[in-house]
């Protein structure tokens, strides 16, 4: 009965099925985005130096596909989240470095389509349970006047939010803005509680499970976006998880985060939704220094595996992320893909799943990775993927080559840009197939390759898009590619 009704709904919406995917088989989509989970923190991705047990992520990988060359849009939080939801790099906006801090108008323009608004338009129920971190305003419920951050440690219960997730395509929101305001709990457009941050991960786990339970028998498919606040600071494993890893609080928190994934997958199984649900488990960037990276290394655990760097850096440890996909019947269990993808690709991918074009003026940098799920080559008009560090340093990736317009890490790992040697080249060029750890800079030895990648980066910036289509406009003209070039 449910399948039949859903078929009618999507046929009325003009759906053209993709390949063998019929309207009745349109999947639920669950996108679990961890916060500061390093590539090497998932044990099955780091067999030699992964000491933290992650049985739920490992099981998901065994049942699905691992992408070994997946990247976040940036090596820090906000820019990645913007790109994930819009299919557009965040540096095309006013945000050229760092992250946002709330108490300000939403970074996503009101008229810009998002993954949520697109799927909602095509019959999906949409929900976000977790961290937003894309700015919104907290307003007095009586006057509508925005509060200022300096006036409140936590906005009062009853505070209204006029430009949050429910105004950007989501039917439902339960969560918080960012880590330093985690105690402020929001539902839809209202602050509903003040709760100690240690309770947030259990709260998000319970709310995600409850959402799946409550929508299991609905006629519509759902898109559930779960951007967790863990294992980002504050690193607060609950009592039952403290000491579980034997490696410290961060490792305990990673294990608790993995447990959340397990509870979500159990809810899908319990409700008979596993077969027709696309689950993606990933992270917004690399592991933070706050995890105690050096101490973990002394215990044999490398948070970035064999990659160089970590959160905030332009090196791959800053933005190459775990990316595990399970979709029974569509994704062969126990497989892997070496194809290059990015979080900005979600919009184009869901558009291909539902058989519709992306809305005009959207997804300028998005390419569908749907073919890769069947083991086929990704069909792309994008020449390469652009990386961005916390300080706004750019890198361009094309095939095995990566050009980084930075003299050092471009982030927090030593040597930082200020610590770079006086004679360090103004850029770095690495052949990642031969040199995954980015140890041998070939910028001076391969000038033709460096120039080709630089020219493509400049063109992708100039056109306001990196895919084929009508030229678009960046929101700012102040995009500086060379942030560390020494002035003569």
Which residue, of 318, 351, 374, is where some domain finishes?
Answer: 374
- How much is the average pLDDT of 174-182? 97
- What is the average pLDDT across 182-200? 98
Residues 389 and 368 in one domain: no
Q: Are residues 212 and 347 in the same domain?
A: yes
58 within domain boundaries: yes
Q: What is the pLDDT of residue 18?
A: 41
Do 112 and 141 belong to one domain?
A: yes
392 in the same domain as 333: no
DSSP state, 357?
A: P
pLDDT above 50 (res 65):
yes
**Is the pLDDT higher at 275 or at 11?**
275
Do 257 and 319 lie in a common domain?
yes
208 & 164 share domain: yes
- Percent of residues, the chain, with pLDDT higher than 90: 92
| Residue 105 pLDDT grade (very low, low, confident, very high; cuts 50, 70, 90) | very high
DSSP helix/strand/coil, 333: coil
Peptide bond into 193 cis (omega under 30): no
Same domain, 250 and 286: yes
| pLDDT (tens digit per residue) in 121-168 | 999 999 999 999 999 999 999 999 999 999 988 999 999 999 999 999
pLDDT confidence of 25, banded at 50, 70, 90?
confident
Measure the CA–CA gap between 424 and 486, rounded to whole angstroms: 10
Together in a domain, 296 and 416: no
Please give the pLDDT value at position 24: 59
Residue 149's contacts (CB-CB under 8 Å, 6 or more residues apart) are: 101, 102, 103
Q: List the CATH number of the domain containing 455.
A: 3.30.1120.10
For residues 136 and 180, membership in a common domain is answered with yes
Confidence (pLDDT) at 9: 36
The number of folded domains in the chain is 2
The stretch 270-282 carries a mean pLDDT of 97
Q: Which helix (H) or strand (E) holds 184?
A: strand 184-187
Instruction: Give the sheet arrangement for strand 184-187, strand by strand.
Output: 190-194, 184-187, 172-176, 125-131, 222-227, 28-34, 277-283, 323-326, 65-67, 335-337
CA 89, 94, 99, 105 torsion-angle sign: negative
Say yes or no: 278 and 410 in one domain: no
> Both 87 and 113 in a single domain?
yes
Residue count of the chain, please give it.
488
Whether 472 is covered by a domain: the verdict is no
Band (16; pLDDT cuts 50, 70, 90) = very low
Domain boundary residue, one of 374, 402, 421? 374
What is the full DSSP assignment across 411-464?
Answer: SSSSS-TTTS-TT--SSEEEETTT-TT--S--TTT-HHHHHHHHHHHHHHHHTT
CATH of the domain at 228: 3.40.720.10
Rounded to two decimals, what is the model's pTM? 0.94
The answer to the question of residue 355 being in a domain is yes
CA angle, 233 as apex, 231 and 236 as ends, to 5°? 70
In a domain, 108, yes or no: yes
pLDDT of amino acid 472:
95
Range of the domain at 458: 385-463
Q: Is residue 95 part of a domain?
A: yes
Please give the Cα distance from 149 to 151 (Å, whole number).
5
> For residue 477, is it within any domain?
no
pLDDT, tens digit (0-9, with 9 covering 90-100), for 389-430: 999 999 999 999 999 999 999 999 999 999 999 999 999 999
Determine, yes or no, domain membership for 446.
yes
User: Do both 355 and 440 map to the same domain?
Assistant: no
Q: What is the pLDDT of residue 219?
A: 86
Q: Alpha helices of 65-222 — where are they, by DSSP H?
A: 77-86, 115-121, 200-215
Digit-coded pLDDT (tens) for 289-331: 999 999 999 999 999 999 999 999 999 999 999 999 999 999 9
Residue that is last in its domain, among 374, 393, 416 = 374
Cα separation, 371 vs 363, whole angstroms: 18
Q: Is residue 473 part of a domain?
A: no
């Amino acid at each position: 009965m449910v399948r039949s009704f859903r078929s009618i709904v999507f046929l009325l919406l003009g759906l053209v099925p993709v390949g063998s995917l019929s309207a009745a088989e349109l999947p639920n989509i669950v996108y679990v985005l961890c916060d500061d989970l390093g590539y090497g923190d998932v044990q099955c991705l780091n067999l030699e130096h992964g000491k933290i047990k992650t049985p739920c992520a490992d099981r998901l990988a065994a049942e699905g596909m691992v992408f070994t060359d997946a990247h976040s849009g940036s090596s820090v939080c906000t820019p990645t989240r913007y790109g994930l939801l819009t299919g557009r790099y965040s540096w095309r906006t006013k945000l050229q470095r760092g992250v946002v801090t709330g108490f300000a108008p939403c970074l996503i323009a009101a008229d810009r389509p998002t993954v949520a608004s697109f799927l909602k338009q095509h019959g999906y129920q949409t929900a976000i349970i977790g961290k937003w971190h894309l700015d919104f305003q907290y307003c007095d419920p009586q006057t509508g006047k925005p509060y200022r951050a300096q006036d409140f440690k936590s906005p009062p219960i009853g505070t209204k939010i006029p430009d949050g997730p429910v105004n950007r395509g989501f039917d439902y929101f339960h969560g918080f803005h960012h880590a330093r305001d985690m105690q402020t709990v929001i539902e839809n457009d209202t602050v509903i509680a003040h709760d100690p941050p240690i309770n947030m991960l259990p709260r998000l786990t319970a709310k995600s499970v409850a959402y799946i339970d409550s929508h299991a028998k609905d006629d519509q498919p759902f898109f559930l976006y779960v951007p967790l606040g863990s294992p980002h600071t504050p690193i607060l494993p609950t009592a039952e998880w403290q000491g579980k890893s034997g490696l410290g609080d961060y490792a305990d928190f990673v294990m608790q985060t993995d447990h959340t994934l397990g509870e979500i997958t159990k809810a899908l199984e319990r409700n008979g939704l596993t077969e027709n649900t696309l689950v993606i488990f990933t992270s917004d960037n690399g592991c933070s220094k706050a995890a105690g990276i050096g101490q973990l290394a002394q215990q044999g655990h490398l948070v970035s595996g064999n990659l160089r760097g970590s959160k905030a850096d332009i090196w791959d440890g800053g933005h190459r992320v775990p990316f595990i996909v399970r979709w029974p019947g569509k994704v062969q269990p126990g497989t892997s893909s070496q194809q290059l993808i990015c979080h900005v690709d979600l919009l184009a991918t869901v558009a291909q799943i539902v058989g519709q074009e992306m809305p005009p003026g959207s997804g300028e940098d998005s390419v569908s990775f749907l073919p890769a799920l069947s083991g086929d080559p990704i069909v792309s008009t994008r020449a390469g993927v652009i990386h961005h560090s916390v300080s706004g340093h750019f890198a361009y990736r094309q095939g095995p080559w990566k050009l980084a317009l930075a003299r050092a890490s471009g982030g927090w790992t030593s040597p930082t840009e200020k610590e770079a040697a006086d004679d360090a080249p103004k850029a770095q060029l690495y052949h990642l197939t031969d040199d995954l750890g980015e140890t041998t800079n070939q910028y001076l030895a391969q000038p033709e390759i460096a120039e080709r990648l630089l020219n493509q980066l400049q063109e992708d910036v100039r056109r306001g898009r990196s895919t084929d289509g009508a030229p678009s406009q960046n929101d700012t003209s102040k995009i500086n590619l060379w942030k560390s070039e020494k002035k003569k």
